[in-house]
Chains A and B, each alone.
Chain A
């Protein structure tokens, strides 16, 4: 009635809720896959499992892109959450970039095949774990933004904590790489990979800061 179809409004809402939740799930899952990809590359890069995992990340990235477009369409077509629409879309885009960064890292490993000496394996795996934990904390922050703004600050704080941890691990690993006896070109090459992984955390922290601002705007 009067252009406000109640059942359609609520069904659109439920569908969108599921899509947004699904999007955050993808970000979290890509992280978990990435956490296994690095040790897989370091230990068994030749047996095909690594490429299989890269393909999986690619599929998840395409799925996330599709969801972003669908959410964007529905939010604008149905003029939903007019006061927070641009914030939500920007948030999804930035999270999509994060998925893209995971995917980019996987491709770089697949194409450039960096040669990490065994002595750096554990440090690289730990750095990767910290980065994935950081993004996990971001996923919680984003979920809080949508459902429970009271806990946004607490979860965003965890993102900042992991980002700092990641910086420490990155610096230590980079220092060890440059202190080693490897040729400079290899040092530069490995530093490039370590830096690219660490950048995921920087992006996650930027998004968490954004979410905190959006949460303040969202408060009643």
Chain B
């Protein structure tokens, strides 16, 4: 493989690494931060399920991003990934709970604008709509789960120690589901732009199983996320567990499961097909923000508790992020594309 291809892929792998470092904390942060689950256990489960989710269910969201703008040259994809990574870094530094999803969408639109390609406005509106829907749905699901769980626990009268043991198991299972959903939903952000120009070829194993080039890309992206989980997420997990989300382990479980369901809903081809088959509007398969799903779930629980603990400033920051992050990512993407094509004489589109 050409060395330049590896360098260009590094852009996506960097994005994967940062996704693993940051978003794994949304799945296992509270469990690890409150010491309900050991970091090593969380990291292993998270890595395995992120990779499985990416390979098995990652196609749907990738297709949607592809419809928004099919980047057709590796340097272009590299610029989009780096632009997304840099803009997420800048916004995180500014204290805004943003996501790679919004960044990559902005970066793709930036590529479209720079290369004069059409932006599919319908797809763009669908994507923007899901950003608003994601925290709202997460909040509603969390409110439902919270009410059911609270009533169930009050009726069951479980001993505090028994409840602790069940919660640990539940956190681990919900974390595994969350990691699977994260891989399925967010792999598009990491590797989506490389799919149309994948440098890999399909590998057939004894004519029985075909490991497609797309799946190979997703495996690579999944591994990058896993490396991010192992190398950098511990610190973020403890921050999430101890500082941001001060809540009971049971409430933490509800947040994780609500977040996981939302990410799964927006990534599951099966659910989307099922809804269509019974003449209901299908769910768009769009990469959504894991952090914003968590914030939505936390706000949902906060509202049920009377709303006093709800930090509306965080909700405000999310809204700011919806507008500013894609714009910044698009601008950085265009600047990088300009540098790559005019200074390095690289082809950023065909």
Contact = CB atoms under 8 A, between A and B. Distances in A.
B122 interface: no
Interface in A13-42: 13-14, 16-17, 20
A84 B160 contact: yes
A17 B162 contact: yes
Contacts of B37: 4
B251 A220 contact: yes
Contact of B150 (A17, A79, A80, A220): A220
Contacts of A219: 248
Given A3-B41, A83-B248, A218 B165 contact: no
B250 interface: yes
Which of the listed residues A10, A81, A84, A218 has the most CB atoms from chain B within 10 Å of its own CB?
A81
Contacts, number: 66
A56 to B, nearest CB: 29
Contacts of B162: 13-14, 17
* Interface SS, B side: helix
A79 B34 CA distance: 10
Interface in B139-196: 146, 149-150, 153-154, 157-162, 164-165, 168-169, 172
B317 interface: no
Contact of B164 (A6, A13, A20): A13
Which of the listed residues B158, B161, B249, B251 has the most CB atoms from chain A within 10 Å of its own CB?
B161
A83 B169 CA distance: 16
Contact of B159 (A2, A3, A6, A17): A17
A88 interface: yes
A13 B165 contact: yes
B127 interface: no
Interface in B21-54: 34-38, 40-41, 44-45
A66 interface: no
B35 A220 contact: no
Given A83-B34, A83-B248, A4 B161 contact: no
A5 to B, nearest CB: 11
A123 B293 CA distance: 65
Contacts of A17: 159, 161-162
Interface string A67-107: 00000000000011111100010000000000000000000
B161 A80 contact: yes
Which of the listed residues B150, B154, B160 has the most CB atoms from chain A within 10 Å of its own CB?
B160
Nearest to B158: A147
A206 interface: no
Contacts of B172: 4
Interface string A193-220: 0000000000000000000000000111
Interface size class of B (residues with CB under 8 A): 20 to 34
A82 B41 contact: no
Contacts of B164: 13, 80-81
Contact of B165 (A2, A10, A88): A10
A2 B45 contact: yes
B159 A147 contact: yes
Nearest to B41: A2
B34 A82 contact: yes
A6 B160 contact: no
A19 to B, nearest CB: 10
Contacts of A20: 161
A113 interface: no
B20 to A, nearest CB: 18
Interface string A124-154: 0000000000000000000001111010000
A184 interface: no
Contacts of A218: 160, 248
A9 interface: yes
A51 B276 CA distance: 82
Contact of B40 (A2, A9, A80, A220): A2
Given A83-B34, A83-B248, A16 B40 contact: no
A147 B157 contact: yes
Given A4-B38, A4-B168, A220 B161 contact: no
A6 B44 CA distance: 17
A13 B160 CA distance: 9
Which of the listed residues B45, B162, B172, B251 has the most CB atoms from chain A within 10 Å of its own CB?
B162
10 contacts: A2-B38, A3-B40, A4-B37, A9-B169, A14-B162, A17-B159, A80-B164, A146-B161, A147-B157, A218-B160
What are the nearest 10 A-B pairs in CB distance? A2-B41, A82-B35, A148-B157, A13-B165, A81-B164, A13-B161, A220-B250, A220-B150, A147-B157, A3-B41
Interface of A: 2-4, 6, 9-10, 13-14, 16-17, 20, 79-84, 88, 145-148, 150, 218-220
